[in-house]
Structure 1
Amino acid sequence: MPLTMVKDGEYTATVYKMIKEGRYGDAIHILSKEHQKHAKSRAALSLLGYCYYHMQDFTNAADCYEQLTQLHPEVEDYKLYYAQSLYGACAFPEAMKATFLLDSTTSHSKMIKLQAAIKYGEEDFSGAKTLVEQLPQDDPDCDVDLGCLLYKEGEYEEACKKFMSSMNVLGYQPDLAYNIALCYYSLKQYAAALKYIAEIIERGIREHPELSIGMTTEGIDVRSVGNTLVLHETALIEAFNLKSAIEYQLKNYAAAQEALTDMPPRSEEELDPVTLHNQALMNMDTKPTEGFEKFAFLLQQNPFPPVTFGNLLLLYCKYEYFDLAADVLAENAHLTYKFLTPYLFEFLDAMITCQTAPEEAFRKFDEIAGKLTEQLRKVTKQEARHNRDDDSLKKYVQDYDEVLERYIPVLMAQAKIYWNRENYSTVEKIFHKSLEFCNEHDTWKLNVAHVLFMQDNKYKEAIGFYEPIVKKHYENILNVSAIVLANLCVSYIMTSQNEEAEELMRKIEKEEEQISYDDPDKKIFHLCIVNLVIGTLYCAKGNYDFGISRVIKSLEPYNKKLGTDTWFYAKRCFLSLLENMAKHMIMLRDSVVQECIQFLEHCELYGKDVPAIIEQPLEEDRMHIGKNTVTYESRLIKALFYEVTGWNE
């Protein structure tokens, strides 16, 4: 949109200088006052519309151009800018109506492109295609528009060819590079997608240092760059969001979060829906309350990212807010068919049913599992028939993996129904039935290991599943979950393989010492949790003298080892000990009692800022802030010790 230089009205060179420098917010501040002083000022309105448009504030831009079309109906450009602004504001019916006001002096191609874009925004893809086909074949935008339509039809390879063809004609353009990256992402060719994303980011850093790319990640406090047209044209926001999505898919969660903080800084109210969605999703583990608020807010916006609806429902189920999930489904029935696949709807329906009718939920999961296993067998047969055709084989492997990724959550949801009842033998049977398809899947192997471990008499079998997981990351053993390492150590001890257990613990200790050397303030809990689980095992077997001593030593030094999770394991052992002492089932030596009291006093000292439990994010009845601390709970347990043992302070 060109800047219309209108001469009526007196403006200082300062305003034009601000616009030239991209300081649209400052220019709007001055122009708004000017417009108020001179009612119906054509110059002020024209410049205001231009500034609002470049700030991506399309609603205010449309308001300015609407007034200009009424004041000066003879100026055709104002009608075009009005229609463009309405399109930018996603007011598609109004934008289409505004295009009908354009006369023959406006470029026919320009009008057709705008109308096609409006139809595309309304998801009338056949209507958009009809309009695009009216464009001259040599128009370079024709391939871009056809590429967008092919992408919507799921023809990602063909769409990619169209975008590449356009780039060959038009030269490098960030938005085209982004479209190509998006096609590769949809084809799951992440390396190729990241290559194009890297180029977008490198050019952005080189050509637009004023956008402060990466400075937030580096801890530099920078002000918002705003939603300017320049920022939009760089495609940086889209590129960083896509990079974050790729890293998230690859389970590189730290890199996914970093991609979001690397993007040009904007204030929260300036964030686009996709960035807001990704921020909510990436930070769900650390800021779940904020995450749910952002998802709920997005659901009220038009438009919102298509995955918002499904993700909100899945997260409600993950946090066991089944009532809220059911309410959202009931209140947004019109979104169900548009945004949920049949599989996802059936899965969510079964998850919600778990709360009130577990047997019925299991039956529903079984139906879904039956459909998916049928698909898996079908793909396997097709794969066997085309094992000499590399392209076909690659496609069938990809199809198999996609179906398997849908099957695993169904299987785990079925298993959880019986896991919650501590019916581990039934859980094992459920996993055994899926052996045909899942025996190479990491999630399946890990959960089989857990269920074998929980049965007490199957430690040897559990080792067979835990060991490959640990060996896979043996050179970076802290990448393995602490509970996996702890369960493997216990399994070694229970099968008289104490040397293997000690060797594994030495390996963990060595890596923790290296991290402590590099970052002295970092808290690391792996070895602590391993020792806590071993201590818990001895307590469960009735050997409290050794078990409690192991628990106490595991939390030293307290400033580095005392956390919500480690306190949970420790207090379970102490409460079990107190229960048995109160029933006069065991007696403790005075020296051990004294050791326990000293331990609890240390926890009281170092636990002032450590939450005793992590409350559910949407919990209405919150614990008193003074009671949800390790300090408070350690005092209570210490008081119980004095009461049960008869000791005096």
Structure 2
Amino acid sequence: MAYVPIKDGEYTSTIYNLLQNRVATSLLGYCHFYNQDYVQAGECYGYLSTIYPSHQEYKLNFAQCLYNSFMMSEALSTVTTIDDPSMVNDIVKLEAAVKYREGDAANARILVEQLPPDDPDIDINLGCIDYKEGNFDTALEKFNKASAYHGYQPQLAYSIALCHYKKKEYTQALKFITDIIDRGVKDHPELGVGLASEGADANSVGNTLTLHESSLVEAFNLKFAIEYRLKNYSAAKEALMDMPPRDESELDAVTLHNQAITEIDKDPSSGFSKLQFLLTQNPFPPEAFANLLVLYIKYEYYDLAADVLAENAHYTYRYLTQLQFDYFDAMINMITSPEIAIQKLDTLAGEKMNELRKLTKKVQEIRQTNDEQAAKTAVEAFDETLEVYLPVIMAQAKIYWDKGNYAQVEKIFRKSVEFCSEHDTWRLNVAHTLFMQEQKFKEAAGFYEPIVNKNYDNVNFFKLKMNQLCSKNTIYLKLYKRILSRITESHQTIRKKI
């Protein structure tokens, strides 16, 4: 490299001289900013804005660095010192972005609506605000309009996919996700998409501007969310594996959260550590707080769940619904005050049962009007409430299961048969309960058999429960042999491949 000769022993002084050079410092700040090192970039632009106060663009750049470093009040304080009419729109956009990130969508909208109607970013900004307010249809319209104006942009395509995801239109969301990934592979082969899942050695691509603008990380994380919600756990894990490779220290908060969720069964301590780490970051995925509590409850670490709630009381109102808080509170009382836990769970179960009855009636009434969209929305509300109701009755049942009171467990399940009879989790637990009562083996097999048949091709599905299905019921011996034969065949196939 040919540069101006620097004498031995003058390297340090040269560095400090360059830091005092306006052009060099500006270039350094620019490089740090687009390398997403906003703290270092902020130091450069903060210095420049102090030494050269007449150059207002340095103040704006400094404010943008503060915003990207999640120093919102400092960003607002800095941007209010800018006095340059030509920069008014940029100032308003940054102020709106701060309000948006602080959760103040109403004031963010007021600021955005001050922009000229022909501003090229106005539809994108309004779409983001509509999304934050839960108006996903309106947000989708805005993003589609912006996409038509700007042409294809990965970040806009991701925003459209995200709206479809929120509307539970997973097929449409996956279509846009696939397009983002395909274009990313074609346009940026250097990002190494899919190398890790293919078993190839892959070096970290870092958090470059190219990676950021490709929206590949966001697309793969959204694909993970869709597959996980659809219970396609292998596909969800594959989505994370296919991401451009990065070192763990370089991972964004959402990716780290999703990795923690996927590995929790195999390595709980690692998963817990990652979720605990995320709670110390600003910001962190809102789901991380509730998911850490859910997993502590699942593994019966009630003391740790209690500690998390106590140490993060300010998060309970922000990230938990009242139902979630009541459920966690009941479960934490399971060890020290089981009577209180039972009472709290009974109350929750009763409330959710009443909601389910109302929603069932609403669905029936809407279907008579032939309003398909309204019916779809009502059914989704019912399904979401059912997913909340199930953990509550399972927690109730577990109290009596642990005491060996299987008759009482059966009573709890009978109360919920009206809503849960088609749910595999409920049916499986009913089967276990009937099986443990010994005189009800035939009834238990009747619940096991459809689940086994449904998962016939999944040889890992409840292997330990196969003996329960028919060990004491000779009439089901053929089914038992057929299942064991399927498992044996699969194992032989695996050995041949190896």
What TM-score results when the alignment is normalised by the length of structure 1?
0.73
- Counterpart of 1:644 in structure 2 is none
Asked whether 1:366 is paired with 2:346, we answer yes
Letter in 2 for 1:436: E
In the alignment, is the contact (CA less than 8 A) between 2:18 and 2:25 conserved in 1? no
Task: Give the one of 38, 53, 70 matched to 2:50.
Answer: 70
Task: Give the one of 433, 448, 463 matched to 1:466.
Answer: 448
Please give the alpha-carbon distance, in whole angstroms, between the structure 2 residues aligned to 1:440 and 1:499: 25
Asked whether 1:408 is paired with 2:390, we answer yes
Please give the alpha-carbon distance, in whole angstroms, between the structure 2 residues aligned to 1:165 and 1:517: 54
Relative contact order, CA 8 A, sep 6+: which one is greater? Answer: 2
In the alignment, is the contact (CA less than 8 A) between 1:273 and 1:304 conserved in 2? yes
Asked whether 1:492 is paired with 2:473, we answer yes
State the Cα deviation string for residues 15-43 of structure 1 (Å, max 9, x = none): xxxxxxxxxxxxxxxx9995335451223
State the Cα deviation string for residues 394-421 of structure 1 (Å, max 9, x = none): 1111111010000011010000001111
Letter in 1 for 2:463: A
Please give the alpha-carbon distance, in whole angstroms, between the structure 1 residues aligned to 2:376 and 2:85: 53
Instruction: From the superposition, tell whether residues 141 and 187 of structure 1 become closer, same or farther in structure 2 (CA, over 3 Å).
Output: same
In the alignment, is the contact (CA less than 8 A) between 1:205 and 1:213 conserved in 2? yes
- Counterpart of 1:424 in structure 2 is 406
In the alignment, is the contact (CA less than 8 A) between 1:492 and 1:500 conserved in 2? no
Please give the alpha-carbon distance, in whole angstroms, between the structure 2 residues aligned to 1:302 and 1:261: 25
Asked whether 1:230 is paired with 2:206, we answer no
Task: Give the one of 482, 485, 488 matched to 2:463.
Answer: 482
Letter in 2 for 1:353: N
- Secondary structure of the corresponding residue to residue 140 of structure 1: coil
Please give the alpha-carbon distance, in whole angstroms, between the structure 1 residues aligned to 2:476 and 2:241: 47
Q: What does 1:18-37 correspond to in 2, within 5 Å?
A: 35-37=15-17
- Counterpart of 1:315 in structure 2 is 295
Task: Give the one of 403, 411, 434 matched to 1:452.
Answer: 434
Q: Greater shift after overlay, 169-178 or 482-491?
A: 482-491
Shift of 1:491: 4.2
- Counterpart of 2:91 in structure 1 is 111
Asked whether 1:151 is paired with 2:131, we answer yes
Give the number of equivalent residue pairs.
490
Instruction: From the superposition, tell whether residues 62 and 505 of structure 1 become closer, same or farther in structure 2 (CA, over 3 Å).
Output: same
- Counterpart of 1:435 in structure 2 is 417
Please give the alpha-carbon distance, in whole angstroms, between the structure 1 residues aligned to 2:83 and 2:161: 38
What is the alpha-carbon root mean square deviation over aligned residues?
1.9
Please give the alpha-carbon distance, in whole angstroms, between the structure 2 residues aligned to 1:439 and 1:391: 25
Please give the alpha-carbon distance, in whole angstroms, between the structure 2 residues aligned to 1:34 and 1:427: 77
Asked whether 1:509 is paired with 2:488, we answer yes
Q: Greater shift after overlay, 505-514 or 173-182?
A: 505-514
Shift of 1:195: 0.8
Letter in 1 for 2:284: F
- Counterpart of 1:277 in structure 2 is 257
In the alignment, is the contact (CA less than 8 A) between 1:76 and 1:106 conserved in 2? no
Instruction: From the superposition, tell whether residues 32 and 336 of structure 1 become closer, same or farther in structure 2 (CA, over 3 Å).
Output: farther
Shift of 1:372: 0.6
In the alignment, is the contact (CA less than 8 A) between 2:363 and 2:379 conserved in 1? yes
Shift of 1:105: 4.6
State the Cα deviation string for residues 445-468 of structure 1 (Å, max 9, x = none): 010011111111111101110111
In the alignment, is the contact (CA less than 8 A) between 2:459 and 2:486 conserved in 1? no
Shift of 1:116: 0.7
Shift of 1:283: 1.1
- Counterpart of 1:624 in structure 2 is none
Asked whether 1:518 is paired with 2:497, we answer yes
Instruction: From the superposition, tell whether residues 109 and 481 of structure 1 become closer, same or farther in structure 2 (CA, over 3 Å).
Output: same
Instruction: From the superposition, tell whether residues 285 and 477 of structure 1 become closer, same or farther in structure 2 (CA, over 3 Å).
Output: closer
Letter in 2 for 1:489: C
Shift of 1:74: 2.2
Following TM superposition, the consecutive aligned residue runs of length 4 or more in structure 1 with deviations greater than 6 angstroms are none
- Counterpart of 1:555 in structure 2 is none
Instruction: From the superposition, tell whether residues 507 and 266 of structure 1 become closer, same or farther in structure 2 (CA, over 3 Å).
Output: closer
In the alignment, is the contact (CA less than 8 A) between 1:386 and 1:392 conserved in 2? yes
Q: What does 1:244-323 correspond to in 2, within 5 Å?
A: 244-323=224-303
Please give the alpha-carbon distance, in whole angstroms, between the structure 1 residues aligned to 2:476 and 2:219: 51
- Counterpart of 1:543 in structure 2 is none
Please give the alpha-carbon distance, in whole angstroms, between the structure 2 residues aligned to 1:229 and 1:507: 50
Instruction: From the superposition, tell whether residues 324 and 473 of structure 1 become closer, same or farther in structure 2 (CA, over 3 Å).
Output: closer
Q: Greater shift after overlay, 329-338 or 223-232?
A: 223-232
Letter in 1 for 2:126: L
Percent identity of paired positions between Structure 1 and Structure 2: 51
In the alignment, is the contact (CA less than 8 A) between 1:53 and 1:85 conserved in 2? yes
Letter in 1 for 2:431: A
In the alignment, is the contact (CA less than 8 A) between 1:55 and 1:226 conserved in 2? no
Q: 5+ unaligned residues in a row in structure 1: which ranges?
A: 1-9, 14-30, 520-649
Shift of 1:218: 1.5
In the alignment, is the contact (CA less than 8 A) between 2:19 and 2:25 conserved in 1? no
Please give the alpha-carbon distance, in whole angstroms, between the structure 2 residues aligned to 1:211 and 1:499: 52
Shift of 1:229: 1.8
Asked whether 1:130 is paired with 2:110, we answer yes
State the Cα deviation string for residues 620-649 of structure 1 (Å, max 9, x = none): xxxxxxxxxxxxxxxxxxxxxxxxxxxxxx
Please give the alpha-carbon distance, in whole angstroms, between the structure 2 residues aligned to 1:199 and 1:65: 37
Instruction: From the superposition, tell whether residues 318 and 11 of structure 1 become closer, same or farther in structure 2 (CA, over 3 Å).
Output: farther
Instruction: From the superposition, tell whether residues 37 and 410 of structure 1 become closer, same or farther in structure 2 (CA, over 3 Å).
Output: same
- Counterpart of 1:57 in structure 2 is 37
Please give the alpha-carbon distance, in whole angstroms, between the structure 1 residues aligned to 2:46 and 2:276: 33
- Counterpart of 2:381 in structure 1 is 399
Letter in 2 for 1:473: N
Shift of 1:160: 0.9
Letter in 2 for 1:67: Y
